[in-house]
A and B are shown apart, each in its own frame.
Chain A
């Protein structure tokens, strides 16, 4: 059945691309066909196929009946032993550890504290932060008392980065645990959710890894809140689509997931790829590879989008988003070396291809736009008198162009409109403030993403070019306090986008003046990139007052979210402890490595 769904979805995406190519071919043919037109058709076909595939995921998600099932909390706490792994790398320890404290208390309230151990795996390289980690560890220990056991280990060097950190733990202490819940430093999960995850692993002995869909929380800026809304409102539907097509080869996103220790250890030892980075060295996006390796060994990998109570945080401004994208881009393109590895399931290979396509799509769109501006410049003037005496005027297929444009817009916004309709019919919209509110949020979100898309396209295209040529231009420093990006920081990060926008307008004016309006839709935001980047990072209570992009978690924070916020506020209030800067002075007296050597 799943094979049928996969084939059907793929076919529909390909047919959509075929129709787009046919319409484009007809339009380009009207004024004489050139080699550049053929290139445009191919670029358009690939890009539309990718868009249509996203639409297919949404459609599959909308027809997934298990999307919103209610699960009962497990009647009895599990007997299996589970380690909750929290890898950290130069993170703010007070904040990360407040997440751990809230999760430990949540588990304890659910009566399962003794079955879950929290393990903080530090790869921190900054000695000041390392000392702060040790200080806050003491604070965390006091906070959680005996509710859960707590372990902390810091590596002096960090080979293999996060994947190496986890593997090191398994090699050292893995035999103690049946399951591992893998988190990120900003992850947060309800105790009941973790217990339910263990229960589902117990029920299905073939299940090697179970992924939850983490909701983005705590966004403050306009940009961050737009992402948060998308992740909360649209992503569950897309994730359900992924679940409909996953079979035994579902996704792993590296965190907010549980794995069977034995299966992971047996399957997921990662090789160091021969050659130098960006394609050689450690596998960066290890999660996709680990999912593929588990599936190769016969273990089931599954995402259950109905598992609530799983949270993460997202970037609050476009620069941080693009920086994260740069890392993910490199990781996904590196999968090009693994995609043909022997023994992998076909769907695992397809997942790698999807990950690569997610980044290749941007330069393909950019190339299509460049080709479209260049095409009129090399256009061969039509022969109005193929037969002497009677003129023949070429028929311009405006209807084709209009249909194509409508189709592409339909693929971009159609799934979102369907999700709102589905939310109105199912009652899901009520949790977001009602259907009118959801419609408003959707229109604002579509407007924002449309305006920002040409900027993101260039960031992603640059990332792909950098990775493929092995270059890394680096990033200008930015003030990360409160996620706010000043205009000068935005300019430093995006001046080159302004240049590209201006050159594009100039080229369009010179070679394709008829298309200048359409080109401005793309180049305009690029020219205004510094303004848009800075403005979208604004934080303020007005968004909250307007309830724009409000999510259920924001309207009614869940118990673990409330607990975490309360703990962090209390820790930072200064009433109960000394300020962090006092703690950070400690390295002057004693280096952390010396402290650990004496342990």
Chain B
């Protein structure tokens, strides 16, 4: 079996194993932006360095 045969076989397998389409919605959560702390540690670190 030469490389081209292997390629052909591989494409066959890839086609056979390709994912079926059955979409499901997955909305992004609303915990981002205004609710998230900007950086909980940086002010603490800056305060420590300043000391």
Q: What chain A residues lie within 8 Å of B25 (beta carbons)?
A: 171, 265
Q: What chain A residues lie within 8 Å of B23 (beta carbons)?
A: 171-175
Interface string of B5-39 (1 = CB under 8 A from A): 01101110111111111111111110111011111
For window 242-293 of A, CB contacts with B under 8 Å fall at: 261-262, 265-275, 279, 293
Query: Are B13 and A176 in contact, CB atoms less than 8 angstroms apart?
Result: no
Query: Are B10 and A271 in contact, CB atoms less than 8 angstroms apart?
Result: no
Interface string of A167-190 (1 = CB under 8 A from B): 101111111100000000000000
Tell me, yes or no, whether A216 is within 8 Å of chain B by CB.
no
If the complex has contacts A150-B17, A598-B11, are A171 and B22 also in contact, measured as CB distance less than 8 A?
no
Contact check: which of A152, A261, A271 meets B29 at CB < 8 Å? A271
Closest 9 CB pairs of A and B: A271-B32, A336-B40, A174-B24, A175-B22, A341-B31, A176-B22, A152-B17, A269-B28, A175-B24
Complex Cα gap A342–B36 (Å):
9
Complex Cα gap A339–B14 (Å):
42
Q: 16 interchain pairs (CB within 8 A)?
A: A134-B13, A137-B10, A151-B20, A153-B18, A153-B19, A171-B23, A172-B22, A174-B26, A269-B28, A293-B31, A336-B40, A337-B39, A337-B40, A338-B31, A338-B37, A586-B3
Query: Are A173 and B13 in contact, CB atoms less than 8 angstroms apart?
Result: no
Query: Are B24 and A134 in contact, CB atoms less than 8 angstroms apart?
Result: no
* Chain B residues engaging chain A, CB cutoff 8 angstroms: 3, 6-7, 9-11, 13-29, 31-33, 35-42, 45
Residue of B31, B33, B41 with most chain A CB atoms under a 10 A cut-off = B31
For window 134-176 of A, CB contacts with B under 8 Å fall at: 134-135, 137-138, 141, 150-153, 167, 169-176
* Chain A residues engaging chain B, CB cutoff 8 angstroms: 119, 134-135, 137-138, 141, 150-153, 167, 169-176, 261-262, 265-275, 279, 293, 333, 336-344, 468-469, 586, 589-590, 595-596, 598-599
Contact check: which of B11, B22, B28, B32 meets A173 at CB < 8 Å? B22
Q: What chain B residues lie within 8 Å of A269 (beta carbons)?
A: 26-29
Q: What chain A residues lie within 8 Å of B21 (beta carbons)?
A: 172-173
If the complex has contacts A269-B27, A271-B29, A337-B39, are A119 and B11 also in contact, measured as CB distance less than 8 A?
no
If the complex has contacts A138-B9, A267-B29, A268-B26, are A342 and B35 also in contact, measured as CB distance less than 8 A?
yes
Query: Are B6 and A586 in contact, CB atoms less than 8 angstroms apart?
Result: yes
Contact check: which of B7, B28, B36 meets A586 at CB < 8 Å? B7
Which residue from chain B places its CB closest to the CB of A595 in the assembled complex? B11
Q: What chain A residues lie within 8 Å of B19 (beta carbons)?
A: 119, 151, 153, 169, 172-173
Q: What chain A residues lie within 8 Å of B22 (beta carbons)?
A: 172-176
Contact check: which of A167, A169, A171, A337 meets B37 at CB < 8 Å? A337
Complex Cα gap A270–B28 (Å):
6
Which residue from chain B places its CB closest to the CB of A264 in the assembled complex? B26
Q: What chain A residues lie within 8 Å of B28 (beta carbons)?
A: 269-271
If the complex has contacts A269-B27, A270-B29, A595-B10, are A173 and B20 also in contact, measured as CB distance less than 8 A?
yes
Which residue from chain B places its CB closest to the CB of A360 in the assembled complex? B41
Which residue from chain A places its CB closest to the CB of B27 in the assembled complex? A269
Q: What chain A residues lie within 8 Å of B45 (beta carbons)?
A: 468-469
Q: What chain A residues lie within 8 Å of B31 (beta carbons)?
A: 271, 293, 338, 341-344
Query: Are A468 and B42 in contact, CB atoms less than 8 angstroms apart?
Result: yes
Q: What chain B residues lie within 8 Å of A590 (beta carbons)?
A: 7
Q: What chain B residues lie within 8 Å of A468 (beta carbons)?
A: 41-42, 45
Which residue from chain A places its CB closest to the CB of B1 in the assembled complex? A578
Which residue from chain A places its CB closest to the CB of B45 in the assembled complex? A468
Task: Name the distance in Å between B37's Cβ and chain A's nearest Cβ.
Answer: 5
Query: Are A336 and B13 in contact, CB atoms less than 8 angstroms apart?
Result: no
Contact check: which of A339, A341, A589 meets B7 at CB < 8 Å? A589
Q: What chain A residues lie within 8 Å of B24 (beta carbons)?
A: 170-171, 173-175, 261-262, 265
Q: What chain B residues lie within 8 Å of A586 (beta carbons)?
A: 3, 6-7
Task: Name the distance in Å between A211's Cβ and chain B's nearest Cβ.
Answer: 21
Which residue from chain A places its CB closest to the CB of B7 in the assembled complex? A590
Complex Cα gap A175–B39 (Å):
37
Complex Cα gap A261–B45 (Å):
40
Residue of B28, B38, B41 with most chain A CB atoms under a 10 A cut-off = B41
Query: Are B26 and A171 in contact, CB atoms less than 8 angstroms apart?
Result: yes
Query: Are A275 and B38 in contact, CB atoms less than 8 angstroms apart?
Result: yes
Complex Cα gap A141–B26 (Å):
30
Task: Name the distance in Å between A367's Cβ and chain B's nearest Cβ.
Answer: 10
Complex Cα gap A266–B37 (Å):
24
Complex Cα gap A170–B22 (Å):
9
Query: Are B7 and A273 in contact, CB atoms less than 8 angstroms apart?
Result: no
Contact check: which of B26, B37, B39 meets A339 at CB < 8 Å? B37
Contact check: which of A141, A272, A274, A337 meets B16 at CB < 8 Å? A141
Q: What chain B residues lie within 8 Å of A279 (beta carbons)?
A: 39, 41-42
Complex Cα gap A333–B3 (Å):
49
Q: What chain B residues lie within 8 Å of A174 (beta carbons)?
A: 22-24, 26
Q: What chain B residues lie within 8 Å of A596 (beta carbons)?
A: 14
Complex Cα gap A598–B15 (Å):
10
Query: Are B36 and A138 in contact, CB atoms less than 8 angstroms apart?
Result: no
Q: What chain B residues lie within 8 Å of A272 (beta carbons)?
A: 32
Which residue from chain A places its CB closest to the CB of B14 in the assembled complex? A599
Query: Are A151 and B17 in contact, CB atoms less than 8 angstroms apart?
Result: yes
Complex Cα gap A167–B11 (Å):
26
Complex Cα gap A265–B29 (Å):
10
Complex Cα gap A172–B7 (Å):
27
Contact check: which of B14, B27, B38, B40 meets A137 at CB < 8 Å? B14
